[in-house]
Structure 1
């Protein structure tokens, strides 16, 4: 990968980190924040939900806008929203309602950051390196979690929780300035393509993709949120459960990178791999439900390493067949991921209270299997659309290493 491509990947990863960071800052600093603003956990949950709801809506409806205005203007919008939201929390959040409004702005910024990163990657990274590029980009989310955790013993302890949002506002301003100073036209070449009739992906298939990743994210994020608690229930110490989480997170990052690398070595057939990874996640959660320490540890590591290594590949696969609207296509993926990530842990917690951990893990496994089925259904719909409506740019698909199994006709 050239130095220019590496720079683009790192820039996209930075955008992903900045966009994801606010909700993790909110989570890691919830105790001092709630104490100062005077509200309980229920209202705190609504504030988190507001972030993800705004992100989902903007991801769906903002993808087409990003395709039209291009990466430069999209970067400026993302930076402006992050700066406004970060400064808003630091300066104006003196009650719950104001905080919620600011989290809506920051959720919109998150969607704008993700769409911008996806658009820039699809237009700037060589096609044979985009798999690993999206793997690196999606590994930035665990980085955001780490940064939010480090903020507590450093900035929060000495300067208060508002200082972290002041810093976030400053970073957003830097992103805005980077967009302003970026070379190239402010409008993308996709605008002219739109005037000639935008070659867009099939919306029905994208809706199935949205449902699939929502279910997959719901199951995966439930695992990430509750796997340590279940470990403590079956006999692990808190430090052992924490060590398992750290090891699982490391394997998860390695899995995402390896998955992206392997995707670059074949021509398509990525969605069946995503479905297989989700199915492995479902089997692993069935094993996690068994109350034995050995099976729990092994199954948890498999769930992290394989069962949750698909986000980058899923995004890459959909963007690859996104035709001339990669941001619009990725918007459906991001919206589903935001929605599933927000609702999954909430519903899993309700299930634990009602049925216990064992049954809840089995329900999450079924959700994984449902997600895998929908991924395969969406692939069939994409293949049908490629045959009936070949894209402007010839596309190889169906697998194969030296050459693709199938190739679309020229138009």
Structure 2
């Protein structure tokens, strides 16, 4: 019983560390988005810069993730997880004390993006090493819930901190929170990862990149549209006549509901055997319909669109990682590196394109285009799944052979 309790404790610590560090890693980007009304008024910049900042963050994250595996092998998972949290703290502190022009904002978001880029794979490795396969769906759901959780924290910062004390104070408090998160990350021994290897097992069988590239395109579209929601909802709501403080609260409520949706779907994934990639496609498509509501300019529809969008169109990230990992036993690192690259690219390009469309047209045009791209993303996921299933028999046979060799 004591060994079982120790394993359960290690699972809980690993999941907690992955969630908190992921929250800190993406907080700088979403804090900028939620506080943009105050930041832009103070620095006298337009909405297109917000798209550039978010693109700089996620673009740097996508590039940094490519080297994260090497960094984890050299320094260790826990060290990289802590480094990611410290980088987020430094970036938010830089914004709080030194952001006077565009160059400093861009530099801070690039720094934060690097920390997020190395932190995401390190957190995934933490889950892979410490969480049993029967609980990994929930663990990935909890980890990905950190993204809307960061928006929740940023949204709460608007009425409680930014409006009475200023947006710089909000960034300063965010930096302090990131430092506390780093201090709370347990050691490798306490997490139960001491002595485990983070090196991927790449010899499990045939590896086909083409279906994964198709899935990466679908995930790119889904991440681009979902990230536009996180970055531009508050400014959209304010343009629709909702007060800034109310818009911040709505962002917090909607992102909190989205976080719960990610956890619930992850919990179900551990218990229900179904075609989860089709569920991902359905979530993206339903999210697209909700994005169309945001472009109507009607306050009630904006509220509904935000809640439904967070609970569907931006709630599939953990589920997609879980599904692809389960379909590539022993090759999860190689498979998810491709799909994660697509998600990172979409997260970078989506807000950038959205900001450009808003500057040239209107929020209505931007959200209509976003809705269409989200539905297209769902269709591409269906195609990628069909291509992937063609390789399924060979992958299953390779997995069985690998398990038999391990028992021998």
Task: Give 2:3's aligned residue.
Answer: none
The TM-score normalised by the length of structure 2 is 0.76
Equivalent residue for 1:49, pick from 55, 58, 77 = 55
In 2, are the aligned partners of 1:73 and 1:186 still within 8 Å (CA)?
A: no
Task: Give 2:11's aligned residue.
Answer: 5
* Cα distance, 1:32 vs structure 2: 9.5
Q: For residue 266 of structure 1, give the secondary structure of its aligned residue in structure 2.
A: coil
Task: Give 1:76's aligned residue.
Answer: 79
Task: Give 1:178's aligned residue.
Answer: 187
In 2, are the aligned partners of 1:82 and 1:106 still within 8 Å (CA)?
A: no
Instruction: Report whether the alignment pairs 1:130 with 2:136.
Output: yes
Equivalent residue for 2:29, pick from 23, 26, 33 = 23
Structure 2 alignment gaps of length 5 or more: 1-6
Q: For residue 323 of structure 1, give the secondary structure of its aligned residue in structure 2.
A: coil
* Cα distance, 1:249 vs structure 2: 2.3
Q: 1:234 to 1:69 in 2, by over 3 A?
A: closer
- Tell which deviates more after alignment, 111-120 or 298-307: 298-307
Task: Give 2:279's aligned residue.
Answer: 273
The alignment covers a number of residue pairs equal to 392
- Tell which deviates more after alignment, 73-82 or 361-370: 73-82
* Cα distance, 1:367 vs structure 2: 0.2
Q: For residue 399 of structure 2, give the secondary structure of its aligned residue in structure 1.
A: coil
Q: For residue 390 of structure 1, give the secondary structure of its aligned residue in structure 2.
A: helix
Q: Distance in 1 between matches of 2:233 and 2:171?
A: 31
Q: 1:292 to 1:321 in 2, by over 3 A?
A: same
- Tell which deviates more after alignment, 312-321 or 156-165: 156-165
In 2, are the aligned partners of 1:83 and 1:171 still within 8 Å (CA)?
A: no
Q: Deviations over 1:142-196 (max 9, x none)?
A: 33234456678669959967855864774586478835876555661646x45xx
* Cα distance, 1:319 vs structure 2: 2.4
Structure 1 alignment gaps of length 5 or more: 396-407
* Cα distance, 1:54 vs structure 2: 1.6
Q: Give the alignment of 1:153-192 within 5 angstroms.
A: 157=165, 163-164=172-173, 167=176, 170=179, 174=183, 178-179=187-188, 184-185=193-194, 188=197, 190=199
In 1, are the aligned partners of 2:288 and 2:375 still within 8 Å (CA)?
A: yes
Superposition RMSD in Å? 4.2
- Tell which deviates more after alignment, 369-378 or 80-89: 80-89
* Cα distance, 1:302 vs structure 2: 2.7
Q: Deviations over 1:371-402 (max 9, x none)?
A: 1011112212222222234364349xxxxxxx
Q: 1:131 to 1:270 in 2, by over 3 A?
A: same
Instruction: Report whether the alignment pairs 1:338 with 2:350.
Output: no
